Amino acid sequence: MQKIQNYIDGKLVDPRSGNFLDNINPAEGKVYSLIPDSDAGDVADANAAAQKAFPEWSAMAVEKRSANLSKIADLIDRDLEALAVAESVDQGKPVSLARVVDIPRASANMRFFATGAIHFASEAHITDQEAVNYTTRTPVGVVGCISPWNLPLYLFTWKIAPALAAGCTVIAKPSELTPMTAYLFSKLCIEAGLPPGVLNILHGLGGKVGQAIIEHPGITAISFTGGTVTGKKIASTAAPMFKKLSLELGGKNPNIIFADCDFEKALSTSIQSSFANQGEICLCGSRIFVERSLYQKFVDAFVERSKNLTIGDPADEKTKVGALVSQAHMEKVLSYIDLAQKEGGRILTGGKQVRVSGRCANGFFVEPTVIVGLSHECRTNQEEIFGPVVTIMPFDTEDEVLAYANSTTYGLSATIWTENLKRAHRVSARVKSGIIWVNCWLFRDLRTPFGGMKQSGVGREGGWEALKFFTETRNVCIKL
Ligand code: NDP
């Protein structure tokens, strides 16, 4: 059985304890590899390596740092197919999705920040001809990057690329559920000649090795993407230590469809924003609000399209909905479908686990599920389900739908469908979300600020925001 290893000080090593955990293929429901059960001892080793590497990496000419990271991007492109297959096996997503979204985006992340760092300028302010202020931004030091399981290599690189580009050295932990592509990535770093200790990747349990990263006094900043409950725990450890913190957390995003929308575009994109990656994307629009005059037409067409989505073997090119990431997660999703029924919801399609034939007979598959008849206030519409489950609700006025949209504790993203430009601006300004898409979804420009309001997070990633996060700002004022 394949054994994944930690990447510390430029080498692949077993965890100090010698203990390994099972890694499960969610489409087959069986163990297919082993991952290190790392602990505080491994964090100490990684920290020693990262501290040793920091002076040279942070002082390296930015073009040289950039070349190192671009080389890794080239190797990701070279290995695209193998990485896509590995991501699909490890996570359960269709390989066709990993091939066009996850892996291309991972190399784009590396290249974007590799080149971005070259253009990351400092500022100067002349004060009334009497003084010159100049502002410098220097790398904060050794940082911790912790990422979730839904878009494994995509979100892993989204964090480490700006950290490395800014000149920090990094200790990173992917989710224990999806460690494989981060492991393959560590091999690419070795091949690319990344200096030892610049990036260290530790595998294992969040509450054990993840928590040890957060607690380590040598690690000065934490960039975390994951659930809101974990985010709170991380903040409660890191804040009293005055660590810099960036938290990208959960969402319960509204998808608002006005009657004057382009119906076909709204419909087909809403199918994607509901069920892409089995609904396991923090930006999925899990609450669909449709203006009453369009409601029935939209519901009928949406249910029809949902029924036609091919569920099954992620390796099959025709599959649109793969396996959920784990049995525990599948049970959580199914329990929310139960809850929705208890709360008075009516299931128009889906609602059940799918038994796929052949090698995937024991996999964790759930039908795309559409629920109507619920109030915006019920738990099903307030809590993040993170699976292929959406609710559809009618509304009559803008004020009403804004009250519904803003009624959760989350504020990550929102989607608005209307051909009325004034309305698009008006509603965008009043939805309490950090990311708003009008007449599109998940249309990304990596320069834009990315992150949520309320309990969806603290801080923003993307573009200069990310490079600023990983640097310490110093202003020097010189009197003329
Ligand atoms: P979790 O919060 O469970 O885990 C995220 C990461 O944190 C994992 O690597 C996990 O390790 C680790 N972790 C868990 N506990 C601790 C701890 N005490 N200290 C340090 N690290 C810890 O989230 P999921 O992996 O379940 O991801 C799904 C969540 O992520 C959803 O809520 C989703 O909305 C959110 N998300 C947010 C995004 C955004 O940009 N805002 C993007 C994508 C997802 P392990 O897995 O080994 O337990």
Q: How would DSSP label each residue in 202-254?
A: --S-IIIIIHHHHH-TT--EEEEES-HHHHHHHHHHHGGGT-EEEEE-----E
Q: What SS3 state is found at 345?
A: coil
Phi first, then psi: give them for residue 265, nearest 5 degrees: -65, -40
Whether residues 221 and 269 share a domain: the answer is no
Whether residues 361 and 347 share a domain: the answer is yes
Instruction: Give residue 142's pLDDT.
Output: 99
Gap from CA of 209 to ligand 1 centroid (Å): 13
Instruction: Give residue 441's pLDDT.
Output: 98
Residue 63 inside a domain? The answer is yes
**Block residue for tokens 């490079």:** 467
CB atoms within 10 A of CB 164: 31
Whether residues 239 and 350 share a domain: the answer is no
Closest CA to 220 of 473, 475, 472: 472
pLDDT band at 212 (very low <50, low <70, confident <90, very high): very high
Share of the chain above pLDDT 70, in %: 100
Query: What's the whole-number mean pLDDT along residues 12-17?
Result: 98
Which residues make beta-bridge pairs with 117? none
Share of the chain above pLDDT 90, in %: 99
Residue 451 inside a domain? The answer is no
Residue 407 makes CB contacts below 8 A (sequence gap 6+) with 376, 377, 382
- Domains: count for the chain: 2
Tokens, residue 348? 């128009």
Contact between residue 198 and residue 69 where contact means Cβ atoms under 8 Å apart? no
Residue 235 inside a domain? The answer is yes
Whether residues 96 and 173 share a domain: the answer is yes
Q: Which of 4, 149, 382 to mutate to test the pocket of ligand 1 (most atoms within 8 A of CB)?
A: 149
Whether residues 146 and 8 share a domain: the answer is yes
Whether residues 210 and 270 share a domain: the answer is no
Instruction: Give residue 242's pLDDT.
Output: 97
Residue 260 inside a domain? The answer is yes
Residue 450 inside a domain? The answer is no
Provide the residue range defining the domain that includes 307. 254-445
| pLDDT tens-place string over residues 24-78 | 999 999 999 999 999 999 999 999 999 999 999 999 999 999 999 999 999 999 9
Instruction: Give residue 134's pLDDT.
Output: 97
| pLDDT tens-place string over residues 292-344 | 999 999 999 999 999 999 999 999 999 999 999 999 999 999 999 999 999 99
Helices (H) and strands (E) in the chain, counts: 16, 25
Residue 370 makes CB contacts below 8 A (sequence gap 6+) with 299, 302, 303, 306, 347, 348, 349, 350, 390, 391, 392
Gap from CA of 351 to ligand 1 centroid (Å): 25
Contact between residue 45 and residue 16 where contact means Cβ atoms under 8 Å apart? yes
pLDDT band at 275 (very low <50, low <70, confident <90, very high): very high
Q: What residue's CA is closest to ligand 1, atom 37?
A: 249
Residue 10 makes CB contacts below 8 A (sequence gap 6+) with 49, 190, 194, 195, 196, 197
Residue 35 inside a domain? The answer is yes
Give the chain's mean pLDDT: 98
Please indicate, yes or no, whether the overall pTM of this predicted structure exceeds 0.85: yes
Query: What's the whole-number mean pLDDT along residues 276-301?
Result: 98
Phi first, then psi: give them for residue 246, nearest 5 degrees: -125, 125
Residue 353 inside a domain? The answer is yes
Provide the CATH number for the domain around residue 204.
Answer: 3.40.605.10
Residue 333 inside a domain? The answer is yes
Gap from CA of 175 to ligand 1 centroid (Å): 7
| pLDDT tens-place string over residues 152-176 | 999 999 999 999 999 999 999 999 9
How do strand 353-354 and strand 346-349 relate by DSSP bridges? unpaired
| pLDDT tens-place string over residues 459-475 | 999 999 999 999 999 99
Whether residues 420 and 293 share a domain: the answer is yes
Instruction: Give residue 136's pLDDT.
Output: 96
Residue type, 65: R
Whether residues 229 and 374 share a domain: the answer is no
Name the DSSP class of 439: S
Q: Which of 4, 176, 208, 230 to mutate to test the pocket of ligand 1 (most atoms within 8 A of CB)?
A: 230
Contact between residue 278 and residue 149 where contact means Cβ atoms under 8 Å apart? no
pLDDT band at 371 (very low <50, low <70, confident <90, very high): very high
| pLDDT tens-place string over residues 385-415 | 999 999 999 999 999 999 999 999 999 999 9
Whether residues 117 and 224 share a domain: the answer is yes
Whether residues 57 and 124 share a domain: the answer is yes
CB atoms within 10 A of CB 300: 11
Which residues lie with the beta carbon below 6 Å from any ligand 1 atom? 146-150, 155, 173, 175-177, 205-207, 210-211, 214, 225-227, 230, 233-234, 248-251, 282, 384, 386, 412, 452, 457
Instruction: Give residue 243's pLDDT.
Output: 98
The C-alpha R_g of the chain, in whole angstroms, comes to 23
CB atoms within 10 A of CB 393: 19
pLDDT band at 105 (very low <50, low <70, confident <90, very high): very high
Whether residues 62 and 202 share a domain: the answer is yes
Residue 394 CA to residue 383 CA, distance in Å, equals 19
Gap from CA of 225 to ligand 1 centroid (Å): 6
Instruction: Give residue 453's pLDDT.
Output: 98
Q: Which residues are catalytic?
A: 248, 282
Contact between residue 252 and residue 171 where contact means Cβ atoms under 8 Å apart? no
Name the DSSP class of 102: I
Residue 8 CA to residue 52 CA, distance in Å, equals 12
Whether residues 80 and 177 share a domain: the answer is yes
Residue 432 CA to residue 453 CA, distance in Å, equals 7
Instruction: Give residue 103's pLDDT.
Output: 98
Gap from CA of 148 to ligand 1 centroid (Å): 4
Closest CA to 87 of 290, 282, 371, 315: 315
Provide the CATH number for the domain around residue 389.
Answer: 3.40.309.10
Half-sphere exposure of 430 (CA within 13 A, CB side): 16
